[in-house]
Amino acid sequence: NESEVLLELDNVVAGYGNLVALHGISLSVRHKEVVALLGANGAGKSTTLRTISGLIKPSAGAIRWKGQGIAGSPPEAILRLGISHCPEERHVWPEMTVEENVELGGYLLNSKVELRRRKEIAFHRFPRLRERARQLAGTLSGGEQQMLAIARALMSEPQLLILDEPSLGLSPRMADEVFDVIREINAHGVSILVVEQNVHKALNVASRAYVLETGEVIAEKDSASLKNDPELLNAYLGG
Ligand code: ATP
């Protein structure tokens, strides 16, 4: 059901120690939807993603997954429910091989057969990773490491993939490749919530976007109308 709301944040407050980074964030992601989170540095985009995936516990508000409250659940439980977080700056293990990194994404699986099946799907989708399966992840290019991080995040076969700055530090060509991969993953029915500093690329892949400023949602618009709102883009996103 395309209109089914998968994820819903309702007035979520969260932060780090005494610092409140999110002052009541409300947003939703529907089945098969691509949603972008935009905003200047420090607006709270990464904190929002970390709160969804259980790395930060909200101090107030609700997070619902298919209507069920998940705020405060540990990251592993949230991963099991079908939410996979691909963190900022890739975080692949440079001293481990590409294949070992991919396998880590399937750490919740008990079945070796299933692990092999999913690895095969990953290498089928990312042939360059298959070619480099035995190579240390640290020897990959930036773009390849990003692909590896995405491949690893897909090993749990999530219904919602959360991506933090997937094009960070990549050449324009590599960034385009990453966005092609994001489109393809979505075409397979996976919902996507993406934080992206490249507003243009984000709005080309997302159908809707939220604009964050200092821990608050200041706008929610479909991508087409946001593209035609230079005032908003200039004011909050630096053009
Ligand atoms: P950026 O693109 O710079 O990562 P962002 O929109 O993702 O920006 P966050 O990283 O969520 O913003 O930061 C929101 C606020 O929380 C900022 O004031 C930031 O300084 C603070 N913050 C982020 N991470 C931590 C942390 N680990 N410890 C303490 N404060 C943090």
What is the per-residue DSSP string for 45-106?
HHHHHHHHTTSS--SEEEEEETTEE-TT--HHHHHHHTEEEE-TT----TTSBHHHHHHHTT
User: Nearest to residue 42, comparing CAs of 214, 162, 211, 202?
Assistant: 214
pLDDT higher than 90, residue 3: no
* Number of neighbouring beta carbons within 10 Å of residue 156: 20
Question: 212-235: per-residue pLDDT in tens?
Answer: 999 999 999 999 998 888 888 877
Give the confidence band of 88 by pLDDT, cuts at 50, 70, 90: confident
* Centroid of ligand 1 to alpha carbon of 199 (angstroms): 19
Which residues contact ligand 1 via a Cβ below 6 A? 16, 19, 21, 39, 41-47
pLDDT higher than 60, residue 239: no
| Interface ipTM | 0.92
Best residue for ligand 1 mutational test, from 12, 20, 25, 45 (most atoms within 8 Å of Cβ): 45
For ligand 1, what atom is nearest to the CA of residue 48?
A: 11
Question: 115-126: per-residue pLDDT in tens?
Answer: 999 999 999 999
For ligand 1, what atom is nearest to the CA of residue 49?
A: 11
